[in-house]
């Protein structure tokens, strides 16, 4: 784990996540250098200083992007706007609940959309009807595949968004392997929470089934090859949904989360690392509950015991060996209870390959490509590229 701030896990987590999304080290130094003293006393004032510093860098990049556009340099402008979106996303994630947080979030969405348009990214926004509103998602098309392709639906954790998941890279790694992606803001995350006030629910199959319904209407999706992946708290949502929605062809936990109720009980006792400032206000924003006691009653349902024997498809459980948020034994519990999966695997990332921290935020690429390879092998993608006649590489057939 890269520790820019020697004593502040929450701030380091944000910096590491930003790096994994594509932050530049010189810009990180400019943003974080003035914050070293504030990081030693991580109070509300210090956290505001952190958020404001990242907003200023985003503003600077937007000014530079505007200059690029005036010179007709649209690709450069788009790349800067996407990086500015990463810095706003980081600031918003660290912010307290306030009208200013929503303004940051909307600006991030605008920058993300504009950046993707200018760079002609392989990324399209979709909306899936849900209740009286919709679930927003990002669709990334498989490369080198004609007609219907396999697809992996990807879920957020407690404090991530679809844009964060997209930036980290799993959709890109899958596209290279002939697998499409749909990264969604499920209830309790991203747009679902911020724009539509959709709280998280323990029975994730309710909304996951609606996602499958939508994908089955798309001619570019093979309805027999729809997988599901979840990161962090998504390591609970995903196996729960696969257990109760038999149309999923496989499941993946990028960081297991077998018994989140136990994690909350431990956090009440100050055990384990917190992912965001204002943690207890954040979880009540996500799940509901007028106070901590009521939230803890809601959290009682968030566990996988007695559920996983329903899963009858391949399932991969991954976990970082040094995860300080979710103990490793919960990954082992999830794996042990997948007794009816025809192909279950437990992959623990060690110092040798990196990705030892929570959901591999300290080194996403080796863990993410391991997951991408496993998904390709089990959904009918590819794990190698064939050589073109001129010696250039091109997409090969499924392997």
94 with 243, same domain: the answer is no
68 with 187, same domain: the answer is no
Q: Which domain holds residue 197?
A: 122-395
Tokens of 173: 């790694």
90 with 139, same domain: the answer is no
61 with 79, same domain: the answer is yes
Q: Give the CATH number, domain containing residue 93.
A: 1.20.1440
Q: How many distinct structural domains can be found in the chain? A: 2
Question: Is the residue at 162 inside a domain?
Answer: yes
369 with 340, same domain: the answer is yes
Alpha helices in 195-305 (DSSP H): 205-215, 234-244, 260-268, 279-287, 292-299
Q: Is the dihedral of CA 48, 50, 52, 55 positive or negative?
A: negative
Question: Is the residue at 131 inside a domain?
Answer: yes
Q: Give the CATH number, domain containing residue 202.
A: 3.40.50.1820
Please state whether beta strands 344-349 and 385-387 pair in parallel, antiparallel, or not at all (unpaired). Answer: unpaired
Domain boundary among 78, 97, 118: 118
104 with 234, same domain: the answer is no
- Reading the chain (399 residues) residue by residue, the pLDDT tens digits are 888 998 889 899 999 999 999 999 999 999 999 998 888 876 678 888 899 999 999 999 999 999 999 999 999 999 999 999 999 999 999 887 777 899 999 999 999 999 999 999 999 999 999 999 999 999 999 999 999 999 999 999 999 999 999 999 999 999 999 999 999 999 999 999 999 999 999 999 999 999 999 999 999 999 999 999 999 999 999 999 999 999 999 999 999 999 999 999 999 988 677 888 889 999 999 999 999 999 999 999 999 999 999 999 999 999 999 999 999 999 999 999 999 999 999 999 999 999 999 999 999 999 999 999 999 999 999 999 977 666 555 554 443
pTM here? 0.94
282 with 383, same domain: the answer is yes
Integer Cα distance of 103 and 28 in angstroms: 23
335 with 199, same domain: the answer is yes
268 with 256, same domain: the answer is yes
Question: Is the residue at 2 inside a domain?
Answer: no
């Amino acid at each position: 784990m890269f520790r820019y701030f020697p004593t502040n896990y929450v701030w380091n987590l944000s910096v590491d996540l930003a790096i994994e999304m594509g932050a530049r080290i010189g810009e990180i130094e400019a943003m974080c250098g003035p914050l070293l003293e504030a990081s030693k006393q991580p109070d509300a004032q210090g956290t505001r200083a952190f958020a404001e510093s990242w907003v200023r860098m985003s503003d600077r990049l937007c000014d530079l992007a505007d200059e690029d556009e005036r010179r007709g340099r649209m690709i450069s402008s788009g790349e800067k706007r996407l990086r500015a979106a990463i810095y706003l996303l980081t600031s918003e994630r660290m912010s307290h609940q306030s009208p200013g947080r929503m303004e940051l979030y909307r600006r991030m969405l605008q920058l993300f959309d504009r950046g993707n348009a200018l760079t002609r990214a392989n990324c399209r926004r979709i909306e899936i009807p849900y209740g009286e509103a919709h679930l927003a998602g990002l669709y990334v098309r498989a490369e080198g595949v004609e007609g219907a392709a396999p697809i992996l639906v990807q879920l957020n954790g407690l404090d991530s968004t679809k844009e964060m998941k997209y930036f980290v890279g799993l959709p890109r790694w899958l596209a290279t392997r002939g697998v499409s992606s749909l990264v969604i803001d499920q209830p309790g995350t991203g747009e679902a929470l911020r724009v539509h006030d959709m709280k998280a629910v323990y029975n994730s199959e309710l909304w996951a089934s609606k996602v499958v319904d939508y994908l089955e209407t798309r001619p570019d999706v093979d309805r027999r090859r729809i997988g599901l992946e979840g990161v962090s708290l998504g390591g609970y949502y995903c196996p729960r949904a696969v257990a109760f929605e038999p149309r999923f062809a496989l499941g993946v936990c990028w960081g297991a989360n077998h018994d989140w109720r136990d994690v909350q009980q431990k956090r009440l006792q100050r055990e384990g690392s917190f992912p965001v400032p204002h943690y207890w206000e954040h979880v009540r924003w996500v799940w509901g509950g007028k106070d901590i006691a009521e939230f803890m009653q809601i959290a009682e349902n968030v566990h996988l015991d007695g559920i996983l024997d329903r899963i009858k498809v391949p399932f991969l459980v991954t976990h970082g060996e040094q995860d300080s948020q979710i103990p490793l034994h919960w990954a082992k519990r999830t794996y042990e209870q997948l007794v009816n999966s025809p192909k279950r695997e437990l992959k623990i990332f060690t110092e040798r390959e990196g990705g030892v921290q929570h959901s591999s935020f300290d080194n996403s690429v080796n863990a993410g490509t391991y997951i991408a390879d496993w998904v390709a092998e089990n959904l009918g993608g590819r794990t190698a590229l064939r050589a073109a006649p001129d010696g250039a590489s091109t997409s090969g057939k499924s392997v």
